[in-house]
Amino acid sequence: MLAVIGGTGLSEMRGFEPMGQKRVATPYSEQRVRVDLFQSRHGQFAFLPRHGKQHVIPPHRINYRANAWALHKLGVKQVVAINAVGGIHENLGPGAFAIPDQLIDYTYGRDATFFEDKLKSVTHITFTDPFSESLRQTLLNAVNAANLAMHGRRLVMDGGVYACMQGPRLETAAEIRKLRNDGCDLVGMTAMPEAALLRELEIDYAMLALSVNWAAGLYHEEISMEAIAGVIEGGMEFVMAVLQKLQDSSGV
Ligand code: HPA
């Protein structure tokens, strides 16, 4: 089964038939993890808004392990994440999308592995390619199909390096200059440890990232939360079209 992990701006699935919800017990959370199920033409898919339904859980407080475990327990084999990000690459101005193929983890103090207690032996996953190339291609096809149907309105970058910062504050201008020197193209706060935990559970992972602002210091005006909200609203319409196309493609 495919799951969609929704980020900022995507706490609800519009346009799909709801099929109820599961509350999944995990060893990593006192509370059960709520996962919503939806019907598409090709079967069911799961939906998990990582900031909670009410958008109240900040990036560093998300229980990434409980979320990943709950999806695993439901039999999820592929995850498409939707992330709002800041754009660093010149093609990633507000409203543009990216499907990154690499990431750098700058977070700290997050529970980032399942492999630490009661081990039979020390375990290291390989993480050379943090995103699944086949799922990335499937997502890219869905994006292209949605773009075609919507008259090519959206710029979409195939690939790119995602910088995962700790947050919840935005970056300083000097931090963004450093990230650019590090080779980063987009910056967000939630792909890690999400990607690594899913890899530990052998779940394929790909991300559709929406740039909602130029990263700090790249534009002469202050980053405005109102402007971001406007970009998110417009962008999510396209995201829903992509998710429809994704469900229509037989690969998922
Ligand atoms: N930085 C980090 N995370 C973000 C940003 C940003 O500029 N915009 C949206 N998420």
Rounded distance, CA 243 to CA 56, Å? 24
- Distance from Cα 212 to the centre of ligand 1, integer Å: 8
Phi and psi dihedrals of 78, rounded to 5? -140, 135
pLDDT tens series, the chain, 252 aa: 999 999 888 877 888 889 999 999 999 999 999 999 998 877 889 999 998 887 888 999 999 999 999 999 999 999 999 999 999 999 999 999 999 999 999 999 999 999 998 888 888 899 999 999 999 999 999 999 998 888 777 889 999 999 999 999 999 999 999 999 999 999 999 999 999 999 999 999 999 999 999 999 998 888 888 889 999 988 998 998 899 888 877 445
C-alpha 203 to ligand 1 mean position (Å): 26
Q: Please work out whether the CB of residue 170 comes within 6 Å of at least one atom of ligand 1.
A: yes
Q: Is any ligand 1 atom within 6 A of the Cβ of residue 94?
A: no
Tell me the CA–centroid distance for residue 208 and ligand 1, in Å: 14
Q: Which of 61, 55, 73 is nearest to 3 (CA)?
A: 73
| Number of domains present in the structure of the chain | 1
| SS3 of residue 136 by DSSP | helix
Supply the CATH number for residue 30's domain.
3.40.50.1580
What is the reported pTM? 0.95
Residue range of the domain that includes 12: 2-248
How far is it between the farthest Cα atoms of the chain? Answer: 54
Half-sphere exposure of 24 (CA within 13 A, CB side): 25
